[in-house]
Amino acid sequence: MSERGGPGVKGKGDGPESTGTGSTPEKAALAFEAAGVKTMPALTEDDLRALDRDLDARVFGAMQSISIRYLLLVGFLGSVVAFGAFAFGWQIYKGIGVAGINRPVFWGFYIASFVFWIGISHAGTLVSAILRVLKVEWRMPLTRAAEAMTLFALMIGGLFPIIHLGRNWRFYWMIPVPNERGLWPNFRSALMWDLLAILTYITASSLFLLLPLIPDLATARDRTRGLRRRIYGLLSFGWRGTQQQWHRLHVAMRVFTIVVIPIAVSVHTIVSWDFGMTLVEGWRSTVFGPYFVIGAIYSGMAALVTVLVLVRRSLQLEDYVTLRHFDRLGKVLLAVSVIWFYMFWAGFLTDWYGGSTVAKLIQHEHLVGHSAVLFWTMMVVNVLVPFLFLWFRRVRTSMTAMLVISLLVNVGMWIERFLIVTSPGINSLSYNWGSYTPQWPEIAIATATFAAFALLYVLFSKALPLISLWEVKEGWRVDRWRREGLVEAESDVPSLTTGATAVTGATATATTAAATAGSRGGAT
Amino acid sequence: MVACLAENNVGIVGEEEAAMGRAQHWIRIERYWDEGEYPEARAQFVPVMCQQCGNAPCEPVCPVFASVHSEDGLNSQVYNRCIGTRYCAHNCPYKARVFNFFAPQFPSPLEQQLNPDVTVRSVGIMEKCTFCVQRIRRVREQARVEDRPIADGEIMPACVQTCPPGALVFGDAGDPDSQVSRLMASRRGIRLLEAFNTEPSVVYLKREGGLDV
């Protein structure tokens, strides 16, 4: 907060930050509105350039300095990951039996974690793609963090089905390539659909992360020397910021944004079909597809809030990821929470009313039996807590409250997956009932993946800008033109950045107002 | 059960593992009590092995074709294709499939009597009752060599062979004159969990106090 960009910038972000967490709610709300885009004082092009410089300095400054605390954090996370790797090695050496799974609970921690991480990965697609399609401007500082989250969560989630295999070293037998065994995989199996869906999603989300990174990578290239410069240069694909390049980037982003949404929805539907398509009582259900998708969005949004609170604080990005963002995210979280409960209830009531003895016994266990503690914890943290607290702006704009709520939601969502995955403990032949207790390798590996996720994020924050610089800058300009009456809405500026070479320039500042106005005039 | 273990090289998991639900039995005697307390309540029992379903739920879910239908109607488990997803075991309503959580153990002197006709399975793969497919194959080959049809009752899985009162009968359901076909036609015949439409090949004969295969 101490280093302000320039004159005329003071109003932005300052108000809610200083008053939003303290004093009276009325005052906070007022200050909050005052910081909103609509009533912000008009910025001149000079102000914008100063803002640009400030943003660049802050983001790249954070990328280039490595503190002792950072190294300690990396070391700590790295060692947790290493221990998880050791547990995995131990499991391969001794046999999958070191995990707590048994007959009839053949799937356990690993599959619950798998579904959980695939769920987390939906944050990126949702926040970034859906908000892009809807041209929601407040998304801009959040998109990069969300897209990176998608990719990392997928990388981790995709590991779990392999860790879970009885013969992990043979996992590639599922990959459909011509082979010496003369065998093609069985495409009737939902696990094959899963494999293909996740590989597609990883490909799409990598590209979705990379495409809007290109201009920022070019900026990074221009600001670094030596090896780093060479690497950034390679990754930015010779970006020069010409009119044609901007045009192509925008076209590509438009196509990708549309394409990635159905991919994301289908991926989690297919994950749910691993369960929904079976004969297993408690699993087979037609509501599982949409129920899992909304659950994924729910946990993904919550994880995004967690990550944003932490990133915002550790990288001092309070001016860019503002309380307004948390306010909006809190509203989305509340809405998704209610939809999730509706979906849950739709499935639960059908099972209850439907009269299948086994399904009812499973529900009985959840409500008052062995899994009651887990079940009611889930209900409280997933439904009650968000519903009681997220109505209030004061809660939505309190970093501590949002951190706690988002973490609780993810605990609840993890429990939800765990309860689903282990429900075959009760099945049609009561002689074969069983229960499941996780063993240390499962816990170690599951913990390690959380550390791995944090580690990937921590490393990412040093390698690449965690905020989409050019989109934020673009947003500022759209905002300014709108207030000057040059444009009515963002939809009126289809080729906004056409001709804007600024973002990649050595000074990384914006183009002149005249140049952009001219090119915009030509386009509209 | 013991005959099955010996015939099919089923690993011994030990007491502790069995308590976790990891016993490897391919056939098990499931005991169900009637309502009430012991002296009044009677136990019913039913031997359950792989039902060799005609419409087997374990088959479509395997991503690597380890669980497949053979031309003579068995559900075969191809051990060396299995990668251990355990999806088939979940989708089996009879929970007839057992998994090698560790490499199988044969405490001495059991390792001296392994059946050379049956693969010893490795760690991390699924296995289940095969209807003693090795015995079926041997009789079929013998009959082919001697150029004659297979006689009724000539093929005997280990459990059928050792059952003293002859409660288990094995035969060709496609032959209307075989003993098993006649028994299956009985009004007493039921199949386990028929609501799942798995078309099991195992038929139980309802009777006061017990069930026959």
Question: How far does B201 lie from chain A, in Å, by closest CA?
Answer: 18
Using a CB-CB cut-off of 8 Å, the residues of chain A touching B104 are none
d(CA A60, CA A461): 10
Q: Which residues of A touch B21 (CB under 8 A)?
A: 102-105, 434
Residue B8: what pLDDT?
92
A249-276 residue pLDDT tens: 989 988 888 888 899 899 999 999 999 9
Q: Give the pLDDT of residue A499.
A: 37
Q: Please compute the mean of the pLDDT values over residues A359-385 and round it to a whole number.
A: 92
pLDDT-based confidence at residue A127 (cuts at 50, 70, 90): confident
- Give the model's pLDDT for residue A43: 62
| CB-nearest partner of B95 from A186, A191, A432 | A432
**Res A507 pLDDT > 70:** no
- The residue with tokens 């990412």 is A460
pLDDT at A431: 87
From chain A, pick out residues whose CB is under 8 angstroms from the CB of B90. 104, 106-107, 278, 280, 424
* Cα A403 to Cα A454: distance, rounded to the nearest angstrom: 15
Share of residues in chain A with pLDDT > 90 (%): 35
Among A103, A170, A431, the residue with its CB nearest the CB of B83 is: A170
Angle of CA points A503, A508, A510, to nearest 5°: 60
Q: Do B101 and A161 touch (CB under 8 A)?
A: no
Q: ipTM score here?
A: 0.89
User: Measured between CB atoms, does A408 come within 8 Å of chain B?
Assistant: no
* Chain A partners within 8 Å of B123 (Cβ): 95-97, 166-167
In the predicted model, is pLDDT for residue A475 greater than 70? Answer: yes
Closest-CA residue of chain A to B13 = A97
> What's the pLDDT score for residue A52?
79
Name the pLDDT band for A445 (thresholds 50, 70, 90).
very high
In this complex, the residue of A107, A189, A429 whose CB is nearest that of residue B95 is: A429
With bands split at pLDDT 50, 70 and 90, how would you rate the model's confidence at A486? Answer: low
Which residues from chain A sit within 8 angstroms of residue B196, using beta carbons?
Answer: 279, 428
Q: Residue A63: what pLDDT?
A: 76
Question: In this predicted model, which residue has the larger pLDDT, A362 or A468?
Answer: A362
Residue A523 has pLDDT above 70, yes or no: no
Convert the pLDDT of each residue in A307-356 to its tens digit: 889 888 887 777 778 888 889 889 989 999 999 999 999 999 988 888 78
Q: What is the DSSP secondary structure assignment for residue A506, as one 8-state letter?
A: T
Write the pLDDT tens digit of every residue in A16-57: 333 333 334 444 444 444 444 444 455 677 777 877 777 787
For residue A182, pLDDT over 50 is answered with yes
In the sheet with B204-207, reading across from the earlier edge strand, the strands are: B189-190, B204-207, B210-212
With CB atoms and an 8 Å threshold, state whether B91 touches A278.
yes
* Whether pLDDT at A176 is above 80: yes
Query: What pLDDT does A524 receive?
Result: 29
Model pLDDT, residue A129 = 84
**Within a 13 Å sphere around the CA of A319, how many CA atoms are in the beta-carbon half?**
19
Which residues of chain B make contact with A183, given a CB cutoff of 8 A? 64-65, 81
Flag whether residue B19 sits within 8 Å of chain A, measured between CB atoms.
no
Written as six digits, the tokens of A357 are 């003895």
What region, left, alpha or beta, does residue A311 occupy, with left being phi > 0 and alpha being psi -120 to 50 degrees? alpha
Q: Is the pLDDT of residue A487 over 80?
A: no
pTM score, whole prediction: 0.85
Chain B CB within 8 Å of residue A276 CB: no
Question: Tell me, what amino acid is at A327?
Answer: D
Nearest residue on chain A to B99, judged by CA atoms? A103
pLDDT at A493 over 80: no
Residue A451 has pLDDT above 70, yes or no: yes
Q: Fill in the amino acid letter for A462.
A: K
A102 part of contact set with chain B, CB < 8 Å: yes
Say whether pLDDT at A388 is over 80: yes
Q: Looking at residue A228, what is its pLDDT?
A: 82
**Cβ pair A191:B124 closer than 8 A:** no
Query: Which stretches of chain B score pLDDT less than 70?
Result: 207-213
The per-residue pLDDT for range A50-89, each reduced to its tens digit, is: 777 777 877 777 777 778 888 999 999 999 999 999 999 9
pLDDT recorded at residue A296: 92
Bond before B109 cis per omega within 30 degrees: yes
Q: Where are the beta strands (DSSP E) in chain B?
A: 27-33, 43-49, 67-69, 75-77, 98-99, 126-127, 189-190, 204-207, 210-212
Taking 90 as the threshold, does the pLDDT of residue A290 lie above it? yes
Averaged pLDDT score across all residues of chain A: 80
Query: With an 8 Å Cβ cutoff, is A225 touching chain B?
Result: no
Question: B173-188: string of b/e by CB count within 10 Å (b at 16+)?
Answer: eeeeebebeebbeeee
**How many angstroms away from the CA of B212 is the closest CA of chain A?**
18
Q: pLDDT category, A519, cuts 50, 70, 90?
A: very low
